[in-house]
A = this chain, B = another copy of it.
Amino acid sequence: MEALFFDAKRAALKRVPLPTIPDGYALVRVIASGICSTDLQLLRGYYDFKGIPGHEFVGRVEGPHQSPWIGKRVVGEINLACRACEWCRKGWARHCPNRKVLGILGHPGAHAQWLSLPEVNLHEVPNEITDEEALFTEPLAAACEILDQIPVGLGTRAAVLGPGKIGRLITQVLRTAGAEVTMVGRPMVGRAKGREKTPKAAFDLVVECTGSPEGMPRAIEMVRPRGTILWKTTHHGPAKFDAAALVVNEITVVGSRCGRFPPALELLRRRRVEVGSLLAAEFPLSKAAQAMREADKAGVLKVVLRP
């Protein structure tokens, strides 16, 4: 089959064997995959990644023939847990230390014609959700994770710092929970730079999703004493902020990664969040390298690949 392949910080289409299908796994034909900022980070050397990237997808199960999933349209949770260790037994499979991660760590990803995943990772996509919408299940689940981590409700004054794809999803998710949400961010393409004032100590909750080391010092300025910063960054490398500011104001910082799929699918099915406006462009898989360059441009939202 054909797949996008990253090697030594280069992206190119490559002919690779079909995925192997161990017991309990399904073979999924990819209908479409979405390019995530994490894919761009992997291409720059994050995790010393080499292989097929991609972890946002919608597909159809086509094997093995005895699977109860055959023919179903699915999305899939991206963490492949060992299901045997202490964390898995405690119900924290997403934090299994032996986990593989679809298209990120030790398991070939979704920017390909086919992929394999454990059947336990699959979720059927309700008919009300289009293929393009279903592509947003994984990042929307990552946004919903916030509601699993901290209390958000009516009266929560929240700011989302970073107006990218995940920032826009998080804004909508926080609003479904009753929060009053302000989007704050670096100037977008075409807007005058340096004009935006940072509100000081004005928010109960600041979600830092700029993907930049400069985001955290700004979030610390924006959050009130004893407030919470939800840290959803793809940045890796040394943090750049003053420890004292965080301690003196007794700020809580909560790291946040992947989330459960069912709440995200439910929000999409009930049309409580709108994702159509986040679609930027669609490319055939054969032009995946070009699509990666497009996705890397400032201000470009979701770029979709179709095998």
Contact = CB atoms under 8 A, between A and B. Distances in A.
Interface of A: 87, 92, 95, 97, 149, 201, 213, 216, 225-226, 231-233, 235-244, 246-257
A201 B90 CA distance: 14
B238 A248 contact: no
A88 B246 CA distance: 20
| 6 closest residue pairs by CB, A with B | A95-B225, A236-B244, A247-B255, A246-B255, A253-B253, A239-B243
A289 B73 CA distance: 75
A231 to B, nearest CB: 6
Given A95-B250, A231-B246, A250-B256, 5 more contacts: A246-B253, A247-B256, A250-B255, A252-B253, A252-B255
Given A247-B255, A253-B246, A95 B226 contact: yes
Contacts of A226: 92, 95
Total copies of the chain: 2
Contact of A238 (B242, B250, B257): B242
B201 A149 contact: no
A231 B249 contact: no
A235 B243 contact: yes
B97 A201 contact: yes
Contact of A236 (B97, B237, B243, B256): B243
A225 B256 contact: no
A273 B200 CA distance: 40
Given A225-B87, A239-B241, A233 B256 contact: no
Nearest to A237: B242
A240 B226 CA distance: 22
Contact of A250 (B97, B149, B247): B149
A97 B248 CA distance: 11
Contacts of A248: 255, 257
Contacts of A256: 247, 250
Contacts of A236: 242-244
Contacts of A233: 243-244, 247
A250 B97 CA distance: 13
18 contacts: A95-B226, A95-B250, A97-B201, A216-B243, A231-B246, A233-B247, A235-B244, A236-B243, A238-B240, A239-B239, A239-B240, A239-B241, A239-B242, A239-B246, A246-B255, A250-B254, A250-B257, A251-B254
Contacts of A253: 246, 252-255
Contacts of A249: 95, 255
